[in-house]
């Protein structure tokens, strides 16, 4: 398989992480969770007692901190924050700093460097529209709000102590609103992306559909 850049976008709970990891494992590609990068910066902003709207300070962290997102582990400046960034407080912090243009500019530059050699599956909310508008394969995963809330409520790595599906649903609605209305790189479907509603689909079926797109692209470029 040639070193393609595969962009997988979509809202919270659509299955981006699960599908992206499975695709990267099957192709032996690098997997980059860009959302975890924003979460790590949000965690650091909160740890340092900074205001979530302090754009210069947050951008400096996004630009200069040692952020590693590899093998399911997330660290910032040598501190493992894999579990700490999956909480309601960090959900809020990540959504807030993701609205800051200077933070996005810094992290997008890092994301582009990470995928400069190809052979990567990158998941996020603006990969196919901003980070890699010329990505070889673009997929936008979605699901009904009810399905996305159900998934998050039953995923121990994301609930962070939230009280059931209703609380998770409220958090997802708030994040959707923040992501789709921000001025900088809003969540939107790229015109040339393949839209895939994962409601009611098994993970294996979603993975198979995405792999078919990848294989078709590889065949067309070989």
Task: Note the pLDDT tens digit of each residue in 84-127.
Answer: 998 889 989 999 999 999 999 999 999 999 998 899 999 999 99
Q: What is the mean pLDDT of residues 151-162?
A: 66
Could you list the residue range(s) of the whole structural domain that residue 62 is in? 5-212
Q: How far apart are CA 123 and CA 65, in angstroms?
A: 21
Measure CA of the first residue to CA of the last residue in the chain; give whole Å: 9
Type and span of the H or E element at 152: helix 145-153
Does a structural domain hold residue 218?
no
Mean pLDDT in the chain? 92
Q: What is the mean pLDDT of residues 198-214?
A: 96
What pLDDT, on the 0 to 100 scale, is given for residue 72? 87
Does a structural domain hold residue 219?
no
What pLDDT, on the 0 to 100 scale, is given for residue 97? 95
Q: Does the pLDDT at position 157 exceed 70? A: no
Does a structural domain hold residue 153?
yes
Does a structural domain hold residue 28?
yes
Q: Which segments within 42-135 are labelled E, that is strand?
A: 67-70, 73-76, 79-80, 120-124
Does a structural domain hold residue 222?
no
Share of the chain above pLDDT 90, in %: 75
What pLDDT, on the 0 to 100 scale, is given for residue 1? 61
Q: Does the pLDDT at position 82 exceed 70? A: yes
Q: How far apart are CA 166 and CA 146, in angstroms?
A: 10
Confidence of residue 5 (pLDDT cuts 50, 70, 90): very high
Does a structural domain hold residue 121?
yes
Question: Three-state DSSP class for 76?
Answer: strand
Which domain CATH number covers 115? 3.40.50.300
Q: What is the mean pLDDT of residues 160-179?
A: 77
Q: What is the mean pLDDT of residues 41-53?
A: 97
What pLDDT, on the 0 to 100 scale, is given for residue 172? 87
What pLDDT, on the 0 to 100 scale, is given for residue 153? 82
Q: Which segments within the chain are labelled E, that is strand?
A: 5-9, 30-33, 67-70, 73-76, 79-80, 120-124, 137-142, 194-197
Does a structural domain hold residue 170?
yes
Domain total of the chain: 1
Confidence of residue 71 (pLDDT cuts 50, 70, 90): confident
Q: Does the pLDDT at position 159 exceed 60? A: no
Reported residue count of the chain is 222
Does a structural domain hold residue 78?
yes
Confidence of residue 128 (pLDDT cuts 50, 70, 90): very high
Q: Does the pLDDT at position 37 exceed 70? A: yes
Share of the chain above pLDDT 70, in %: 95
Confidence of residue 54 (pLDDT cuts 50, 70, 90): very high
Task: Note the pLDDT tens digit of each residue in 173-193.
Answer: 888 898 899 888 899 999 999
């Amino acid at each position: 398989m040639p070193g393609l850049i595969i962009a997988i976008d979509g809202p919270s709970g659509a299955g981006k992480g699960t599908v992206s990891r499975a695709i990267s494992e099957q192709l032996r590609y690098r997997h980059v969770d860009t959302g975890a990068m924003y979460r790590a910066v949000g965690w650091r902003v909160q740890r340092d007692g900074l205001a979530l709207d302090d754009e210069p300070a947050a951008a400096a962290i996004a630009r200069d901190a040692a952020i590693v997102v590899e093998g399911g582990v997330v660290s910032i400046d040598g501190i493992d924050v894999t579990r700490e960034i999956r909480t309601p407080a960090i959900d809020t912090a990540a959504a807030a700093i993701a609205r800051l243009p200077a933070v996005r500019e810094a992290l997008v530059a890092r994301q582009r460097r990470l995928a400069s050699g190809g052979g990567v599956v990158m998941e996020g909310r603006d990969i196919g529209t901003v980070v890699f508008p010329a990505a070889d394969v673009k997929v936008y995963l979605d699901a009904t709000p009810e399905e996305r809330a159900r998934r998050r409520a039953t995923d121990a790595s994301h609930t962070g102590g939230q009280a059931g599906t209703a609380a998770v649903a409220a958090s997802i609605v708030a994040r959707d609103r923040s992501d789709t209305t921000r001025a900088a790189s809003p969540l939107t479907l790229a015109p040339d992306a393949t839209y895939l509603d994962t409601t009611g689909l098994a993970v294996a079926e979603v993975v198979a559909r995405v792999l078919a797109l990848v294989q078709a692209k590889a065949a067309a470029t070989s």
